[in-house]
A and B are shown apart, each in its own frame.
Chain A
Amino acid sequence: MKTKEQIALQEVESESIKISGAEAVIRCLLAEGVDLIYGYPGGAIMPVYDELYKFQDELNHVLTRHEQGATHAAQGYARTSGKVGVAIATSGPGATNLVTGIADAQIDSTPMVCITGQVGSHLLGSDAFQETDIIGISTPVTKWNYQITKASEIPEIMAKAFYIARSGRPGPVLIDITKDAQFDTFDFSYKKCNLVRSYKAVPPMEMDQIQAAATLINQAKKPLIVFGQGVILGEAEAEFKAFVEKTGIPAAWTILGLSALPTDHPSNVGMVGMHGNYGPNMLTNECDVLLAMGMRFDDRVTGNLDTYAKQAKVIHFEIDPAEVDKNVMADIAVMGNIKETLTKITPLVEEKSHTSWFEKFKEFDAIEFDKVIKEELNPSKEGLSMGEVLKEINNASGGDAVIVTDVGQHQMIACRYAKFNQSKSNVTSGGLGTMGFALPAALGAKMGAPEREVVAIIGDGGYQMTIQELGTIFQTQAAVKIVVLNNDFLGMVRQWQQLFFDKRYASTEMVNPDFVTIAKGYFIDAQRVTKREHLADAVQTMMASKKPYFLEVCVEKENNVFPMIPSGASVSDIRLE
């Protein structure tokens, strides 16, 4: 049997017939191994949609209800599958609606190719119907973008787009194709791209830096690892685990690094950052060597840079040279693909256990448990907490589910308390903080890992930003489990208003619709929980369902997420209440 890639190439190449640019787009996608794309049709992309109709057995197109949904779905797909997500839209508003998802993919290093239709090349610059300068608009938020005005450019540019999107530090690429380039015919041939002369995907590994890092690690008395999404994107989970276990160094995760190491792993000491755990944040300012692995010292991780880990020597494992010394100066930069650098460094490090250093983390854990976690997971108040919902989801999933979160309090609670046994399980909008991300991303996540349970956890605010994607979930019947933690507030903003703006709750209270009725309107099974005694059963029912399922949990209206490092404060000024 011929593979899809072969189908894409053989038929046309052997007969040497001319095909249209639009057909070439489809054949390029197939040649890149794409079998699923998300999008929304419209005037300037219609020739490509016409070809999609002809190729519908080979290439599944999911019609989202908004182009933003297509990008987030493509992101979710990329994050769980490790493949390049593809989103397609028409010119003008179709293209501009992609921008939020593209910016999100750029800041969270998600491989994505977006294809947009454009008005005919003779109309460019004439303010034609649905003309917009999407190249100009998307330039600052894409890894690369290109406007195709001739059909013959399509194979080379598409090959380049996929290579650039997935190689090195991944990111979004946008290809804009004028309508005449979609219609014109040309002799098609396709060659995969593996080199762009002006682009070095991975900087060369330097053995002396690795040796120097190993020496420093071996001398360290109180080392701390902070690992980010680089470990996941580099598919270096096994190498990372081996390194952690041999060196015996406590390892803390950034929000996007979550699930690279199982949450129950004995060396896993929790999350760093604004709502991270007490121990790793406090001890960042006590460690003697800080190993930053595939992370970029985001301000939500570091707090005030002037007081961040000043006592520590910093070793930065990084693939992107622009990240080194950007926020935190590195004493040693270990450049390269982290899978390779870890493979090289692990034999050079000594086997250790750092037992008394770990004890310090446990001391802080005990304080945090007492002051925060105990009440969050087993509330003494009547109202439900977000934490206890997570606890029930953990009980039902056993840590095997993919958790997709939106942005806000529910996101922080989910990332703090969700259990993960395997990698590529935490899908969230980290860098951009895009409300509305979760619902479409969960659809994509499920399609990227159909064998896995996917649970979306969303706040009542973000849910309503892309609620229309319930239609896509209904139409595809992707068995996504949707949990809305409803506190009738834009909770995180309200928390800031309470703590830093003297409880002036400006425009954060929401009068919400009947979410259960809305879900049922889309023929999605749904229920609402308002009381603790019904929670466990409701979560079990949802998880047992083989279909999409919606669960609204009405939680305490004015709970806060702690610990918290106030914006601009030091990591060691973390507040527990």
Chain B
Amino acid sequence: MEATQIFTISIYSENNVGLLNRISAIFLKRHINIRSLNTSPSEIENVFRFVIVVKMTEEKVKKVVKQLEKQIEVIKAFYHTDEETIYQESALYKVKSDSLFDERHIQNIIKDSHANIVTVSRDFFVIEKTGFRHETEKLYEDLAPYGLLQFVRSGRISVTKTPMEISDILK
């Protein structure tokens, strides 16, 4: 049995209502859990980009990518290993403002983690950290004792080290 690993699937597509449903249905039909999903514009005007993170065997991801590419409004789909991509996630941490002033240690945590303070108000402040999963998780663990009012993390965004020959396909 081939081992499972993390793959980042990149989908270039038209930007139409319902396409997300069509894409997620391909995973649903095969009982595959999507670990993270991000949608955004791409480097090409009017072309949308999905970045989906899954854990499965390479044999299976190859078949899934073919099924994705088969969808009429998908222009091209790729899959890559972590080694082949540069990827990041963003996280936001909302903390009570009291903690910032009462607990001097929290300032060191922020400094050491290279996180940014996005906003400060009388009641709360918001820290933003972009990085690898283990980095945002570390900051979560460090801040948790001081009371997190809210925490949220984005899906993975990723670019590949090698070029993606997508612009040529549309010509």
Q: Is the CB of A198 within 8 A of B29?
A: no
Given A164-B72, A198-B13, A198-B75, 8 additional A-B pairs, CB 8 A: A135-B18, A139-B22, A144-B73, A199-B72, A322-B63, A322-B66, A322-B70, A325-B63
Q: Does B105 contact A (CB under 8 A)?
A: no
A140 beta carbon closer than 8 Å to chain B: yes
Q: Write 14 A-B pairs (CB below 8 A) sorted by A numbering.
A: A139-B25, A140-B25, A140-B28, A140-B29, A144-B72, A147-B18, A197-B75, A198-B73, A198-B75, A321-B70, A322-B63, A322-B66, A322-B67, A322-B69
Instruction: Give A contacts to B, CB under 8 Å.
Output: 135-136, 139-140, 143-147, 164, 196-199, 320-322, 324-326
Give me the interface of B with A, judged by CB distance under 8 Å.
13-14, 16-18, 21-22, 25, 28-29, 62-63, 66-67, 69-70, 72-75, 170
Q: A198 contacts which chain B residues (CB < 8 A)?
A: 13-14, 72-75
| Known pairs A321-B70, A322-B63; A139 contacts B75 (CB<8 A) | no
List chain A residues, Cβ under 8 A from B70.
320-322
Answer whether A326 and B63 are a contact pair too, CB < 8 Å, given A139-B21, A139-B25, A140-B29: yes
Q: Distance (Å) between the CB of B58 and the closest chain A CB?
A: 12
Q: How far is the CA of A146 from the CA of B21 in the complex (A)?
A: 12
B13 partner residues in chain A, CB cutoff 8 A = 198
How far in angstroms is the closest Cβ of chain B from A343?
A: 25
In the complex, the answer to whether B72 meets A196 with C-beta atoms within 8 Å is yes
* Main SS class of interface, A: mixed
Residue of A nearest to B29 (CB): A140
Determine how close the nearest CB of chain A comes to the CB of B98; give it in whole angstroms.
43
Q: Which chain A residues border B17 with CB–CB below 8 Å?
A: 147
CA distance A321 to B73 in the complex (A): 16
A368 CB, min distance to chain B CBs, angstroms? 36
Chain A residues positioned under 8 Å from B62 (CB to CB): 325
Q: Which residue of A lies closest to B68 (CB)?
A: A322
Q: How far is B18's CA from A140's CA once the two chains are assembled, in angstroms? A: 11
CB distance from A531 to the nearest CB of B (A): 49
Q: How far is the CB of B110 from chain A (nearest CB, A)?
A: 43
Chain B residues closer than 8 Å to A322, beta-carbon distance: 63, 66-67, 69-70
Assembly CA distance A145 to B17 (angstroms)? 10
Complex CA gap A136/B17 in Å reads 11
CA of A340 to CA of B160 in the docked complex: distance in angstroms? Answer: 37
A137 to chain B, nearest CB (A): 10
Q: Chain B nearest CB: distance from A424 CB in Å?
A: 25
A186 to B21, CA, bound (A): 30
- Kindly state the separation between the CA atoms of A204 and B69 in the bound complex, as whole angstroms: 15
User: In the complex, how many angstroms separate the beta carbon of A6 from the nearest chain B beta carbon?
Assistant: 30
Look across to chain B and name the residue whose beta carbon is closest to the beta carbon of A149. Answer: B17
Which of chain B's residues have a CB closer than 8 A to the CB of A139?
Answer: 18, 21-22, 25
Q: B73 — which chain A residues lie within 8 A by C-beta? A: 144, 198-199
A147 to B75, CA, bound (A): 20
In this complex, what residue of B is CB-closest to A327?
B63
Q: For the complex, give the distance between the alpha carbons of A559 and B163 in Å.
A: 62
Q: Which of A143, A147, A164, A322 has the most CB of B within 10 A?
A: A322
Q: Determine the chain A residues whose CB is within 8 A of the CB of B25 once the complex forms.
A: 139-140
A143 to B71, CA, bound (A): 7
Q: Which residues of B contact A320 (CB under 8 A)?
A: 70
Q: Which 5 A-B pairs have the closest CB atoms?
A: A322-B66, A144-B72, A140-B25, A198-B75, A322-B70
Q: Which residue of A lies closest to B21 (CB)?
A: A139
Nearest Cβ in chain B — how far from A225, in angstroms? 25
Residues of chain B within 8 A of A136, CB atoms compared: 18, 21
| Docked complex Cα distance between A325 and B64 (Å) | 12
Chain B nearest CB: distance from A211 CB in Å? Answer: 25
Nearest A residue to B64, CB-CB:
A322
Taking a contact as CB atoms under 8 Å apart, the answer to whether B18 and A197 are in contact is no
Residues of A near B69 (CB, < 8 A) are 321-322
The CA-CA distance from A135 to B16 in the complex, in Å, is: 13
* Nearest A residue (CB) for B28: A140
A100 → chain B closest CB, angstroms = 17
B75-A143 in contact (CB<8A): no
Which residues on the B side are within 8 Å of A144 (C-beta)? 72-73
List, in ascending order, chain B residues with CB within 8 A of A147's CB. 17-18
